[in-house]
Amino acid sequence: MSLRLNAQQKYAYDTILQTCFASQGHSFFIDGPGGTGKTFLYRSLLATLRSQGYIAIAVATSGIAASILPGGRTAHSRFKIPLDFSKNRTCQLSKQGSVARLLSESKLILWDEASMAKRETIEAFDDLLRDIMESELPFGGKVVVFGGDFRQTLPVIEQATKEILLQSCFLNSPLWCKLHKLKLTENMRAILDPQFSEFLLRVGEGHELVDFNGEITLPKDLVIPYYDKEESLNRLLQSVFLDLALYSLDPYRMINRCILTPKNSSVDELNDILIKRFPGELHTFISSDKTVDQRHQGDYEDFLNSQNPKGLPPHRLMLKENYPIILIRNLNPVEGLCNGTRLICRELGRHTISAEIVFGQHKGKRVLIPKIPLQTPDSQKNSIAFIRTQFPVRLCFALTINKSQGQTLDYVGIYLREPVFSHGQLYVALSRVRTSAELKILILPGTFDGIKTDCKTRNVVFSEVFELSQQ
């Protein structure tokens, strides 16, 4: 595999491997815009070390990015990093346990999409390694390779100001300047469309011309003209999915086609339309919702059913055979069932879904997904805590832009019912495909102020990120 690396990838590969076998380890950050082959490089490193019998651990900040790496897990689940740092700041791993031994004996630890991680998670990981290795060196002297792209989305913190977001970035950690930086600059994903590749970089770095409303103008041939919502949305769906009936016979042909949109509510809107249009019998699974404090159950039951909190499956989950779904919990990471694993429904029973894994090392494997109790996340501080018993899955013809980070897709439709709202979102959505011919964008009129034009949209870029990343 290493033979196919380009010159920059090869330099990074050789430098990292030399360090793995040197007496003193140090850590790296692979910095490259979307598509420059960071994941391709990680795969080469993991394959080389593992084929020689060494332990190489792979994690990513998000579930989907982890599912792309061979043997990948989310950093949170692998290192038992706390989810709520106001309660606890240390990883819940025993120094005598098997994972600690694995870490201690590993030649390399890889952490993808580190630009999406909160600095405190990486600092907790640093403390963990120092403790396990009984060393005061950064990361306990282990060779850790972080990778990411600060043009893409940053940590997700609900209702955070720009200052809080920047503060929470890895870039603001004292660990950042301890890393040896390796750069990749050649966009391998869009190598056949250099003009598109340059446009992407201008969007990602905030260099695309902005008008007095703070909006950029997208190339006309990428945009679906707006007539009315229904007709324009139909044209977007038609561009991406062509013929759902045909795809239902061969789901692997459609699994890399996706609609990306900024908000969960528009993901639900699209998936609702698409599941109804997909051929086959519709199965509806109703969850059982119980308040954590049993005394409130009677008062809140109907209300709970109407709730659709982030991180939980819907109360009324609609599924069809051959429809693509995404797992939203770590069910059995060893068997490939992680938060972010994408599957195709094969048989829908009352109590279990028989599904097929469609990506990664477990591709093609049939698995059974049970209904499980899932609690509302702690971040939903203003709502009532409850437990929903349901299949831990969501439909995935449409995904939020943040969830698509790290993926290469065959065709993308971007649905801007409302404009993007955070740093890097537009860039991530645009940069998932190989050429501009594999992309269509629909901008709804509610989202443009003043002059009505369907090619203008907001691009959010925090230039401070690039200044910090140079340090």
Ligand X SMILES: Nc1ncnc2c1ncn2[C@@H]1O[C@H](COP(=O)(O)OP(=O)(O)OP(=O)(O)O)[C@@H](O)[C@H]1O
Would you tell me which residues interact with ligand X (CB under 6 A)?
Answer: 4-6, 9, 32, 34-40, 149, 188-189, 406, 408
Query: How far is residue 366's CA from residue 460's CA, in Å, rounded to a whole number?
Result: 41
In angstroms, what is the minimal distance from the CB of 40 to ligand X? 4
Q: What is the three-class DSSP state of 183? A: strand
Q: Kindly tell me which of 210 and 460 has the beta carbon lying closer to ligand X.
A: 460
In angstroms, what is the minimal distance from the CB of 68 to ligand X? 7
Q: Kindly tell me which of 175 and 190 has the beta carbon lying closer to ligand X.
A: 190
Q: Which two tokens stand for residue 397?
A: 């013809």
- CB neighbour class for 157 (10 Å; exposed up to 12, middle 13-18, buried from 19): middle
Q: Kindly tell me which of 149 and 289 has the beta carbon lying closer to ligand X.
A: 149
Q: Kindly tell me which of 239 and 408 has the beta carbon lying closer to ligand X.
A: 408
In angstroms, what is the minimal distance from the CB of 269 to ligand X? 26
In angstroms, what is the minimal distance from the CB of 315 to ligand X? 33
In angstroms, what is the minimal distance from the CB of 187 to ligand X? 8
Residue from 351, 340, 346 nearest 396 by CA: 340
Give me the residue whose beta carbon is nearest to ligand X.
37
Q: Kindly tell me which of 324 and 406 has the beta carbon lying closer to ligand X.
A: 406
Q: Residues with Cβ < 8 Å from 269, sequence gap 6 or more?
A: 417
| φ, ψ at 197 (rounded to 5°) | -60, -40
Q: Kindly tell me which of 313 and 406 has the beta carbon lying closer to ligand X.
A: 406
In angstroms, what is the minimal distance from the CB of 188 to ligand X? 3
In angstroms, what is the minimal distance from the CB of 282 to ligand X? 34
- Exposure class string for 228-247: b at 16+ Cβ within 10 A, else e: eeeebbebbbebbbeebeeb
Q: What is the DSSP string of 128-176?
A: HHHHHHT--SGGGG--EEEEE-TTS-----TT--HHHHHHTBGGGSTTG
| φ, ψ at 421 (rounded to 5°) | -125, -5
Q: Kindly tell me which of 119 and 151 has the beta carbon lying closer to ligand X.
A: 151
